[in-house]
């Protein structure tokens, strides 16, 4: 049934970005942020692309200089179809980099490395199929783990609409300067997944 609802060439999107950056560990002590948990990671949340709503970025800065950046954009995923989409993602990461520099008062660009060098260690690539009211009731939640990764399919509410989301969790572990283009080019979410 969902294969009948799917457009012949649905757009791919990307969300749930997990990015790693590194700074010199000496700057950890200069941050006036609250630490969370036993890891002693100092954290901060920011709202970058939304006028209102929950924060969409979380920074976790560890004593060893590792910075984990979590971008939760599940309700507003980035489109991943052409070079303009890659440009839009990189522009957003420029805003994330700027906010991170503000946390460290890095006015000389000496502490925080450029976003293009950050490592994309995890993300979900998805396609969304808009559902009508009846289809929402019969949508099935599925998760399949295989050697190729984790595939999920579920109904998701986005504002006043519902979509059937089919996604693949990936661990690219490569610099963002090349990772998004590689994902755009190489990741295919087969329509056969919609018939699971």
CA distance linking residue 176 with residue 157, whole number of Å: 29
Chunked into runs of 10 residues, the chain (196 residues) has average pLDDT values of: 52 95 94 86 88 80 97 91 95 96 94 97 92 59 69 83 88 95 83 50
CA distance linking residue 168 with residue 11, whole number of Å: 14
Domain ranges in the chain are 2-195
pLDDT value at residue 51: 62
User: Do residues 60 and 70 make contact, with C-beta atoms less than 8 angstroms apart?
Assistant: yes
pTM: 0.85
């Amino acid at each position: 049934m969902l294969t009948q609802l799917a457009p012949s060439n649905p757009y791919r999107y990307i969300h749930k970005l997990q990015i790693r950056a590194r700074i010199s560990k000496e700057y950890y002590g200069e941050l006036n942020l609250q630490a969370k948990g036993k890891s002693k990671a100092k954290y901060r949340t920011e709202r970058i692309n939304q006028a209102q709503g929950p924060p969409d970025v979380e920074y976790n800065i560890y004593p060893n200089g590792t910075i984990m950046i979590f971008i939760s954009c599940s309700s507003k995923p980035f489109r991943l179809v052409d070079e303009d989409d890659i440009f839009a993602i990189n522009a957003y990461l420029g805003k994330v980099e700027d906010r991170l520099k503000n946390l460290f008062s890095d006015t000389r660009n000496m502490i925080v490395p450029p976003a293009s060098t950050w490592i994309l260690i995890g993300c979900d690539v998805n396609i969304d199929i808009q559902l009508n009211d009846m289809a929402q009731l019969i949508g099935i939640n599925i998760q399949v783990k295989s050697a190729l990764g984790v595939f999920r399919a579920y109904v998701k509410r986005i504002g006043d609409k519902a979509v059937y989301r089919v996604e693949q969790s990936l661990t690219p572990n490569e610099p963002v300067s090349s990772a998004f283009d590689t994902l755009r080019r190489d990741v295919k979410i087969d329509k056969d997944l919609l018939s699971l």
